Homo-oligomer: A and B are copies of this chain.
Amino acid sequence: MAEFTSLRAAIEDLVPDGSVVAMEGFTHLIPVAAGHEVIRQGKRDLTLIRMTPDVIYDQIIGMGCAVKLIFSWGGNPGVGSLHRLRDAVENGYPRPLMIEEHTHAGMATRYVAGAAGLPFGILDGYVGTDLSDHTNVATIRSPFDGEEVTAVSALNPDVAVIHAQQADRRGNVGLWGITGVQREVALAAKNVVVTVEEVVEELDLRGPNGAVLPSWTIDAIAEVPRGSHPSYSMGYTRRDNAFYTRWDAISRSREIFAKWIAEYVSGPDDFSTYLAALDDGTLTSLVDDD
């Protein structure tokens, strides 16, 4: 049964050093505030899983919290590189980062297998690529017609962290719009932390593709309005495209990145400083003079 708690307590309790963490959200509903709390608490030796590392993992990797990344596309969407991720992979800065790389279809299949309690999943994928020689996939034959398919192992993270639009008083979580792999990762993980835009009396899924995660599949819920910035929460916030562009400049320099994190993430007590800077237009002021 889900417990309502602070984001700080949820991350303290459920994201220990060394754990395998999946923070999902496909462009939409990225749990950025939760990622900041991971940085703030100085977590170490995490294995991070996420299809699209995005700004959230660029920040966590840039602060040296992770030893390994399992992913399928590591760019800044519509902008270019994730510079902190590149610095870790290319130069081992601030520490070396092991990577385990898959395709989107492969990662999705792995989460589905994990959610379904199966040891592996199958797909028509990876064939002919060099990736199949550099990652953990296998070929198996159909016992019926001999056709070959690719097998990928299930993903069952220690903890899944997602952001959703709503939770009701009983702790049922509601989300809608582009739901990516969030239901699958929540059902695949041993523990689940959810941040929500709003706690409501009754869920009101006012958009396409509505989905509910019942309270008893979730461990901790924290109300964190705008907790998905710079991504968005359909029905609540809009994507901050400008921030993604500015992130390129912030993250390009090790020094500016460190200063930005100290000022808006690790220095403050919670997410409110970041939101205040967002509101008064100073969140990207470190690079606004460029």
CB distance from A169 to the nearest CB of B (A): 19
A119 and B138 contact, CB distance less than 8 A:
no
Copies in the complex: 2
- The 8 Å CB contact of A119, one of B117, B121, B149, B153, is B149
Interface of A is mostly: loop
Binding stretch for chain B, among A75-83, A140-148, A276-284: A140-148
Interface size on A, residues (CB 8 A): 20
Q: Kindly provide the distance from the CB of A286 to the nearest chain B CB, expressed in whole angstroms.
A: 45
Tell me the minimal C-beta distance from A229 to chain B in angstroms.
29
Q: A121 vs B140: C-alpha distance in the bound complex, in angstroms?
A: 12
CB distance from A146 to the nearest CB of B (A): 9
- Which residue from chain B places its CB closest to the CB of A136 in the assembled complex? B144
The answer to whether A151 has its CB under 8 Å from any CB of chain B is yes
**A269 adjacent to chain B (CB < 8 Å):** no
The answer to whether A92 has its CB under 8 Å from any CB of chain B is no
> Can you list 21 A-B contacts with CB-CB less than 8 angstroms, sorted by A residue number?
A117-B124, A118-B123, A118-B124, A118-B149, A119-B142, A119-B147, A119-B149, A120-B122, A120-B142, A120-B143, A120-B149, A122-B122, A136-B144, A138-B143, A138-B144, A140-B140, A140-B143, A144-B151, A144-B153, A145-B153, A210-B210
> Given A119-B147, A120-B144, A210-B210, 8 more contacts at CB 8 Å?
A118-B122, A119-B144, A119-B145, A121-B122, A138-B144, A140-B140, A142-B151, A144-B151
